[in-house]
Amino acid sequence: MIIAEQKGIEELIGILEGHKDILVVGCRSCVAICLAGGEKEVGVLSEALRLHSDMRSKGWNISEVTLERACEKEWAYELDQLVEGKDCVISLACGVGAQVIQELFPDVRVVPGLNTSNMGAPEEQGVYNEKCGGCGDCVLHLTGGICPIARCAKSLLNGPCGGSQEGKCEIDPEVPCAWDQIYHSLEKLGRLELMDVPIPPKDWGPSRSGGPRKMVRSEAILTDEQNRMKGGKR
């Protein structure tokens, strides 16, 4: 899932300068799970903004809504009526959702209410760890199911650097060394010999380095006929 956290209220208030009719939009997917942009957070932020508006006579009209999944046009279109007459949307969806909303409603300014951070997983309630760097060419089968790209501070591919001590990464005694974890995972799997296999320089072409990525699954693309059958929804 996508891990994100809310921007500070001060920063958000600065961004809203000059706006009046504001719609706060959340998302029930990833950002709800990481407690950044679900229905509850939308309510709390909206209330805080109303309070600020009253105290500082900003005259803001704040309304709120939470989408099922902001990154899918089908769901994001539900804003169709709600953005009517608004001059700003605060997106509490991730950076993806924010862009989808802006694309669908090009006349309203969409501002980010979240800082979108990474692809990760909840460790426990309130704790989220980055897991995948989206490199486009997965090597988890070689690394005991632990990602060296996202989990190693240097994205090393051939074992731990000289800063790995007692299972910790050199950058911070709180951060586990990914390569120490990989070693012990491979040990448990009985595949330690993989630690000796040299991995040549990686092709970063399928990663962000190759430019923005577009994936086309031709068999899934609907024909005109199918689109017509599907009806109204765009």
- The contact set with other proteins (CB under 8 A) reads 153-167, 170-172, 177, 180, 183-184, 195-196, 198-202, 204
CA atoms within 13 A on the CB side of 119: 9
CB of 142 to ligand SF4, least distance (A): 9
With CB under 5 to 8 Å by kind, the binding choice for 201 among other proteins, ligand SF4, none is other proteins
Judged by beta carbon, residue 12 or residue 177, the one nearer ligand SF4 is 177
CB of 154 to ligand SF4, least distance (A): 4
Q: In 3D, which of 25, 18, 11, 113 has the Cα closest to residue 58?
A: 18
Residue 110 burial (C-beta neighbours within 10 Å; 0-12, 13-18, 19+): buried
Q: In 3D, which of 86, 82, 80, 117 has the Cα closest to residue 5?
A: 117
With CB under 5 to 8 Å by kind, the binding choice for 150 among ligand SF4, other proteins, none is ligand SF4
Stretch that binds ligand SF4, among 47-55, 95-103, 142-150, 212-220 (CB under 6 A): 142-150
CB of 152 to other proteins, least distance (A): 9
With CB under 5 to 8 Å by kind, the binding choice for 184 among ligand SF4, other proteins, none is other proteins
Which member of 45, 76, 169, 182 binds ligand SF4 (CB under 6 A)?
Answer: 169
State the Cα angle at 113 between 112 and 115, rounded to 5°. 80
Which member of 21, 72, 130, 170 binds ligand SF4 (CB under 6 A)?
Answer: 170
Which member of 147, 182, 183, 186 binds ligand SF4 (CB under 6 A)?
Answer: 147
The 10 Å CB-count burial string (b at 16+, else e) for 9-32 is eeebbebbeebebbbbbbbbbbbb
Rule CB under 6 A: is residue 163 a binding residue for ligand SF4?
yes
Alpha helices by DSSP H, the chain: 9-15, 30-33, 39-55, 73-76, 95-104, 148-151, 178-189, 224-230
Q: In 3D, which of 66, 29, 70, 31 has the Cα closest to residue 46?
A: 66
Structure tokens at 74: 């089908």
Q: Report the interface residues with ligand SF4, using CB under 6 A.
A: 132-135, 138-140, 147, 149-150, 152-154, 156, 160-161, 163-164, 169-170, 177-179
